[in-house]
Amino acid sequence: MKRQVLLVVNPTREEARSGALSLAQQLKGRDISVFQALSTEGDHIAGIPVRENSVSINEFELVIVLGGDGTMLRSAEMVRSSNVPLLGVNLGHVGFLAEIEKNSLDEIADQVAAKNFTVESRMVLSFAHFFKASITSKLCCSLNALKTSGLLSVSVATPLFTSNKIVS
């Protein structure tokens, strides 16, 4: 079976788009098939085939993310129920989750081709919101961030429990 890598790219960043094209060419030159995931806006990069929805994420040996922490979080959600690892290339400002810098794309291609990488496990947080003893919503959030949306977003201090013991 031919090796396959999926690229997840922040399409709003030109450096992510150009980096994805460069990395895709390098991986193809090493006999690794490269596909891209459609962005949330439906954008794609010409020259890199788009992953069909019918193709399981488990068909890929690795997902390479070019963007910032937001792109990493979206990608983590994509692979959450699989064993496919993420490799984050930081193109954002902070880079807590994507630790590799873009200037190492040549080395990334070499290391992926040689299968010379290790996988670090990361925590996934899931939670349920209770109101009057009923669950009103559930969320499984990847890695270390929660995102709220709506007209009003506020910080909420809540106790954290594990095994019915308060942690924080």
Cβ contact 72:88 at 8 Å: yes
Catalytically active residues are 69
Relative to beta strand 124-131, strand 134-142 is antiparallel
Query: d(Cα 79, Cα 63) in Å, to the nearest integer?
Result: 8
Contacts of 110 (CB under 8 A, 6+ apart): 116
Both structure tokens of 134: 């009923």
